[in-house]
Structure 1
Amino acid sequence: MKLNIAVPTLRTHLTRLFSRLDVQGRDELVLCVFRHFRKGCRAVNSHPRWQ
C-alpha cells in the first residue's frame, strides 16, 4: 500500500504521535499499543484525548 506522502511529513506525524502518547520511539509505541490492548497503557489511558 502506498500512502503518497513525503518522508518529512511522515516523520512529523510520528513525532506528534510519540509526543501525544508520551513514548520515545516506534518500539515503545508498539509496546504501548500492545499493552493497551492487553491490560491498558497508562500513556493512552491517562491522555485526555483518549478518554
Structure 2
Amino acid sequence: VRLTGQEYELTSLSSTERRQIHTMLQDCEDLETYSHGQEPDRRLVVKIRN
C-alpha cells in the first residue's frame, strides 16, 4: 500500500483476524483500515490515510 498508493483488499479472514489487523495498524499514521461486505464475504481494506 505504501509503495503503490493503492488500497489493498484482504479476503478470507475471520472476524478475529480482521480485528487483529485493525488493531495492529491503528497506530500507523499514514494507513487506515476498514471492513466492508457481509459475512461470509466480509473483507478488510488497507489504504493510505487522507
Please report the TM-score for the alignment, with normalisation by the length of structure 2.
0.38
Query: Greater relative contact order: 1 or 2 (C-alpha under 8 angstroms, separation 6 or more)?
Result: 2
Give the greater-gyration-radius structure (CA): 1
| Structure whose residues are more often helix by fraction | 1
| Structure whose residues are more often strand by fraction | 2
